[in-house]
Amino acid sequence: MEKRLFQAWTSARVAMGRTGGSLPCRERLRFLVDHARARDAVHAVFDPPGLAVELEGHGLPVMYAPSRAADRQVYLQRPDWGRQLGEGARERLEGARGDYDLVVVVADGLSAEATHRQAPPLLEALFPLLRGWELGPLVISSQARVALEDEIGEALGARAVLMLLGERPGLGSPDSLGAYLVQGPRRGNSDAQRNCVSNIRPAGLPVEAAAQRIAWLLGEARRLGFSGVDLKDESGAGGGLDFDPCPDPGRLC
Amino acid sequence: MRWSTKIAGRRYGFGDLKSLLAKATPHRSGDVLAGLAAESAEERVAAQCLLADVPMRHFLEECLVPYEEDEVTRLIMDRHDVGAFAAVADLSVGEFRDWLLAYETDGEVLAALAAGLTPEMVAAVSKLMANQDLILVASKCRVVTRFRSTMGLPGRLSVRLQPNHPADDLRGIAASILDGLLLGCGDAVIGINPATDQVSTTCAMLEMMDGLIARYEIPTQSCVLAHVTTQLRAMEQGAPVDLVFQSIAGSEAAQASFGIDLALLGEAREAALSLKRGTLGNEVMYFETGQGSALSAGAHHGVDQQTMEARAYAVAREFSPLLVNTVVGFIGPEYLYDGKQIVRAGLEDHFCGKLLGLPMGCDVCHTNHAEADQDDMDTLLTLLGVAGCHYIMGVPGADDIMLGYQSSSFHDAHYLRQVLGKRPTPEFESWLEAQGITMPGGRLASSTRALAEAPAWLGLGSGVATGGGEQ
């Protein structure tokens, strides 16, 4: 009775039963499954060449620009390196400078699984909403933190950058993608200058609704000439909680 | 002042007290990130050897964060009790460690000393202590606090019931609260982290918890962990606030990044005191801390993260809190990389807080991108139980679905009480037995009609709950 009553109202792990005072085996195993999925998501291998093949149908040149963090261990301990371009990447991007309204960056963040699953369908839904925009090359970046979008945008000369990257995996959400846009990318921008659409995944904010919201924010940022806390999301594209602006940059980025 | 020493022919020098403290700190990722950590194991132990010889008095002469620039430093220095300090004034840091471990240094002696210690002294000595030293000394400390229950008595272990919900759904929250109560948890506080920091949400949560506590005469207190300014506004609107919560940190600049200062905390405490809602005592503040928060705000002043954490305890101490807890693994692997670092930090924080006279609890927790799992949490949980930690978190299944991290569960609390023979607060223990939730001896009753009408009353449905049964 208690089980049905409680579980109807929350996805928290309530009314799990007990053996003595301890967790029954089936619940322990259920927890282990969820934790294993989240852990695997953090350490999942990111596949930039595979992603490049998947994304080339959009007709944009695809470039690869890794961060300064060489591997996962370094990435997890040096968030500052995840916000800087790796050796040679800046020069390569500067070689492709142009007059761009927007550059889209697709990166692993804390869940490569999220990026591989959600980024291609999200871009599929988003690009048709950006007709008339002068788009720069699609940039794929690895071991990247959110603020890397500033250096990438700066190097390419873009007026705005949209970065899609895997969010910190939760126990029930190993494949959640975040989208962070900044108008006027410049190194040293603070997170208060970004807008964020979070929790993009089938069980959270579906890609179609996310694309609507992102397109609206991009359009408003371009019209106003700024992004961030003073740009409030009034897109009305529902499907999730209100995640705008970036709710807790320290935790997500 | 400059310190230097030689180990096996190699000379190590340290330019000032804060660099000596940082280099003497057991290895952790946050100090590496800040560029403060020792560069080799030998350099670390050289710093520890030198630190052992630093006179305790020196901490009153050299401020790590300038007095003129920082109100936390001013608080520490201005409140220092020279009389209480006299007991250890002539010792070095190393001698102080040995003194703490002596048989004669008991709970009474430590309680009398607390006001004579600064956070920097306490952090310094912790850097010379093994994990077992941190546990032993903390276990000798006695700190008792009261609101509607009595916390910190020997042989007791309390639980903060943490019933968060990602959409702040009151019925979802109520379901988690009832689940926790039926598993014997909630004697420290029923404390909700709201997903959105709004006065209206905060008030609705407070009303719901106040109603439940009053209806079933539960000897506990409630709290909504919104920003302190939000709680002040809720109080202005007449909301039933038991405890005022706030995250605090070890420098004025770090506190500013949280949108607070000492004056604001004082104002909030006065407002909560004026409501006179405590029955056994009037300790009305609840603080949370955690190593790394000052660095993440760029407000660490070149001081290592563990010392900055201890400085936050000076802030807490000023406002006589009912509860303080260090949220030890929440911040992520860039500050505490793995289970080993989280365990060490949890023991350090608990020790430092207790020695400074605080009612310390710990959110034994980790995130999925840290190199840690529930086995590491079990280890820290058990060690803290042995160390006499006042309370731990009780989250359904250890999985906080709002904050997205793993903490300790109602079941974990029951494990710890079972294995160490610990009991809830005396008031809550009597209530649990009177309700038929637990039996004398602490076992959960095999079936109970306790709180049977509560689900319907809280809007969860018309059924009658029958709790307590085994699977």
Domain architecture of chain A: domains with CATH: 47-252 (3.40.50.11240)
Q: Which of B116, B114, B121 is nearest to B143 (CA)?
A: B114
Tokens 């699609």, residue?
A: A138
Q: Which of B165, B182, B471 sits opposite A10 (nearest CB)?
A: B165
What is the per-residue pLDDT for A243? 35
Tell me whether B233 touches chain A (CB under 8 Å). no
Q: How far apart are CA A225 and CA A220, in angstroms?
A: 8
Chain A touched by B420 (CB under 8 Å): no
Average pLDDT over residues A153-175: 94
A 38-97: CB under 8 A from B: 38-39, 41-42, 76-80
What is the rounded CA–CA span in Å between residue B48 and residue B24?
5
Q: Residue B151: what are its φ and ψ, rounded to 5°?
A: -110, 150
Question: How far apart are the C-alpha atoms of B261 and B253, rounded to whole Å?
Answer: 9
SS3 B402: coil
Determine how many CB atoms are found less than 10 A away from the CB of residue B9: 5
The answer to whether residues A15 and A2 touch, using CB atoms and an 8 Å cutoff, is: yes
Question: Closest Cα of chain B to A123: distance in Å?
Answer: 27
**DSSP code of residue A105:** E
**Residue from B355, B387, B358 nearest B117 by CA:** B355
Q: Are A141 and A106 in contact (CB under 8 A)?
A: yes
Asked if B333 lies within 8 A of A19 by C-beta distance, the reply is no
Which domains can be identified in chain B, with CATH numbers?
10-138 (1.10.220.70), 145-433 (3.20.20.70)
Q: Per residue in B81-106, pLDDT tens?
A: 999 999 999 999 999 999 999 999 99
CA distance B373 to chain A (A): 8
Task: Give residue for tokens 């280890």.
Answer: B379
Q: How many residues does chain B have?
A: 471
Contact state of B418 with A173 under an 8 Å Cβ cutoff: no
Strand partners of residue A139? A63, A105
Answer yes or no: is the ipTM higher than 0.90. Answer: yes
Q: What value does the CA radius of gyration of chain A take, rounded to a whole number of Å?
A: 19
Tell whether A22 lies on the interface with B, counting CB pairs under 8 A.
Answer: yes
Residue B195, chain A, CB below 8 Å: the answer is: yes
Tell me whether residues A78 and B175 touch, CB distance under 8 A: no
| Cβ-based contacts of A31 with chain B (< 8 Å) | 374, 397-399
Secondary structure of residue B240 in the 3-state scheme: coil
Q: How many other C-beta atoms lie within 10 A of the C-beta of residue A53?
A: 11
Closest among A117, A115, A102 to A184, alpha carbons compared: A102
Chain segment B256-293, per-residue pLDDT in tens: 999 999 999 999 999 999 999 999 999 999 999 999 99
Q: In which element (H, E) is residue A251 found?
A: helix A249-252
Q: Is B471 within 8 Å of chain A by CB?
A: yes
Asked if B296 and A7 come within 8 Å (Cβ–Cβ), the reply is no
**What does pLDDT average to in each consecutive run of 10 residues of chain B (471 residues)?**
89 96 98 97 97 98 97 98 98 98 98 98 98 98 98 98 94 97 98 92 97 98 96 97 98 94 98 98 97 93 98 98 97 95 98 98 96 97 98 97 94 98 98 96 92 93 54 43
- The beta-carbon neighbor of B179 closest among A14, A42, A172 is A14
- Closest CB from A5, A19, A80 relative to B455: A5
